[in-house]
């Protein structure tokens, strides 16, 4: 049996994405830009859940390819990132091509000093704070013009909405000019200068839970650990 629930997005923006293992989400924009989240209970498919479990176990081992023989560098980098973004070091995950050794899309190798370093911050506290900043700036999502433009035409509001509410994931490039976005950009600039021989820049992504992160990494885990 399934049960349908409806919440206004401003009432429960932080707890819904973390329930991806239980709910199928649908986000609607209604009225004066107000967002309504409707989700329906559903059981995950065995194959999908196995991939998510494998991804969780993979990143508990934390065996990043590029840092396999650079444990001191790995620890100092994660400590620096954690201090710079005011997160716990256990909230910091290296992912992307630096972790797998290859890029997911085209399998091109991670190139030291050239490739970006993908960093996930898994923190419900920072996620919720960021969501509050976005709601305040966008007047509860009614002013979508505050979101960045793609090629000067298309707003990233839809991308932000689908990622944040549907996946428990906030990407820096989807954020309007809120404090969290500015902080991530400034941190990337500072840390990238100090580690320039290892990567071009840091690309931050913010997750509301370890489960949301595992869901995002399930595809790469299937591909690179088969």
Looking at residue 84, its pLDDT comes to 96
Tell me the pLDDT tens digit for each residue of 127-176. Answer: 999 999 999 999 999 999 999 987 666 678 989 999 999 999 999 999 99
In 100-153, beta strands by DSSP E: 117-122, 149-150
Looking at residue 11, its pLDDT comes to 46
Are the beta carbons of 138 and 111 closer than 8 angstroms? no
SS3 of 14, please?
coil
Residue 182 has pLDDT above 70, yes or no: yes
Looking at residue 61, its pLDDT comes to 81
Give the integer Cα–Cα distance in Å for 199 and 110.
9
**Among 101-105, 198-202, 222-226, where is mean pLDDT lowest?**
222-226
Residue 204 has pLDDT above 70, yes or no: yes
Q: Report which of 226, 216, 224, 217 is spatially closest to residue 169, judged by C-alpha positions.
A: 216
Looking at residue 35, its pLDDT comes to 52
CA distances from 52 to 56, 60, 116, 139, 209 (A): 6, 12, 25, 35, 13
| Pairing of the two strands 202-207 and 169-171 | antiparallel
Tell me the pLDDT tens digit for each residue of 67-111. Answer: 999 999 999 999 999 999 999 999 999 999 999 999 999 999 999
DSSP assigned state of 147:
S
What sign has the CA pseudo-torsion 172, 223, 214, 47? positive
DSSP assigned state of 102:
B
Average pLDDT of the residues in 28-50: 50
Give the integer Cα–Cα distance in Å for 24 and 5.
11
Instruction: Quickly state the pLDDT bin for 120 (edges 50, 70, 90).
Output: very high
């Amino acid at each position: 049996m399934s049960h349908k629930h409806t919440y206004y997005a401003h009432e429960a923006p932080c707890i819904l994405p973390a329930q991806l293992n239980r709910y199928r989400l649908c986000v609607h924009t209604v009225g004066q830009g107000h967002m309504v989240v409707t989700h329906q209970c559903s059981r995950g498919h065995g194959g999908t859940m196995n991939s998510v479990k494998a991804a969780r176990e993979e990143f508990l081992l934390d065996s990043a390819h590029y840092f396999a023989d650079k444990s001191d560098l790995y620890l100092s980098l994660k400590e620096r990132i954690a201090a710079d973004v005011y997160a716990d070091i256990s909230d910091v995950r290296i992912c992307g091509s630096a972790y797998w050794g290859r890029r997911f899309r085209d399998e091109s190798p991670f190139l030291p000093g050239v490739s970006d370093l993908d960093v996930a911050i898994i923190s419900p506290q920072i996620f919720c704070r960021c969501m509050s900043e976005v709601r305040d700036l966008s007047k509860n999502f009614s002013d979508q013009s505050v979101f960045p433009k793609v090629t000067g035409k298309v707003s990233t509001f839809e991308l932000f909405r689908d990622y944040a509410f549907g996946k428990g994931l906030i990407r820096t490039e989807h954020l309007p000019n809120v404090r969290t976005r500015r902080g991530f950009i400034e941190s990337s600039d500072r840390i990238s200068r100090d580690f320039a021989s290892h990567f071009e820049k840091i690309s931050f992504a913010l997750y509301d839970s370890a489960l949301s992160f595992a869901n995002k990494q399930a595809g790469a885990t299937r591909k690179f650990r088969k």
